Structure formats: C-alpha cells, structure tokens
Amino acid sequence: MFDPVKIFSDIAVIRDLQFMYGARHFQYCELTQKTLTAGDSFLGMFPFTEQGQMNNGSVSTWTVSTIIWIGRKFDPAEITHSNLDETEEQKYERRLKYLRSLMETVLSDLCASSYVELLSARVFRELNKFDECTDVIGCELSFSYDPSYTN
C-alpha cells in the first residue's frame, strides 16, 4: 500500500527538515514541543483526501489532495533581519524567497518518483505563523499514484 504521509516524511528526512502531520492545531502543538532554533526549517502536511479512479470495478489510480507547508523559525537579529517596518518586497527577499525555493525542491522530489504524478500545485505565503516566530510557504497540491505501488 502506498502511504501519502510517508512520502513527505521521507522527503523531510532527505532535506533535513522537521516533519509534522495533522491539522493546524496539531502542527502548532507539535511545533511548540520541538526545539527549533533560528534558521531551522520544517515540512508540515495537513490531512489528505483521496479519490479513486475506477476501472472495471477496481481502483486504477488514486488522486491525493492536501496542503503542505515549508516553514522556518526566524530570529530577526540573527537570521532574517525582519522588522515591523519591512516592505512587502523586503519580507519576500529576507524571509520568503528561501522558503519558496525549498518548496520547489520538495515538489521536485515528489515528482522525481516514477510512481507519483503531480497534477496541480498552488503556492501561497503566510508570515509570522504560530507563536514560534515562523514564516511559511504553503502549497495546495494534488497528485496521483498507482495503487499497486508500495513505498
């Protein structure tokens, strides 16, 4: 059986990211329990839905829809030089550009597997998530996989 959570957990290990799975409040709880220092990054995955494409009474392909987050804890003095008076462009340059690049890398890792096909991805940004001083680039995505594959 293919495990959609495991594929992102494996990518997190490869990319040296903390991995979290669950709804927003569970990820928040988990994030506050982890010891992240300034500059540490994480990959969060929200609960997913799956839709099967049927072929002669059996599922020939599953399509997964979920949201993933790539985030980084920041410390204005040490890492990102964030400031309440930053312009949008400065926020992007100082805090989000790196995360956007990392999101692209994670999506490329997902596409690199021969058993997964990325169908759509919509990237969005969120500043100052949680109380842990983290910035996030999110991605609503859907991908399909062959149900005969096991990861």
Lowest mean pLDDT among 44-48, 79-83, 100-104, 114-118: 79-83
Residue 100 has pLDDT above 80, yes or no: yes
Helix (H) or strand (E) holding 99: helix 97-112
Q: Taking residues 76-101, what's their average pLDDT? A: 73
- Model confidence at 76, in pLDDT bands (50, 70, 90)? low
> In the predicted model, what is the mean pLDDT of the chain?
85
Residue 134, amino acid: T
For the chain, give percent helix, strand, coil, nearest 5: 35, 40, 30
User: In this prediction, what percent of the chain has a pLDDT beyond 90?
Assistant: 52
Residue 29 has pLDDT above 70, yes or no: no
Q: Look up the pTM and report it.
A: 0.84
- Model confidence at 77, in pLDDT bands (50, 70, 90)? low
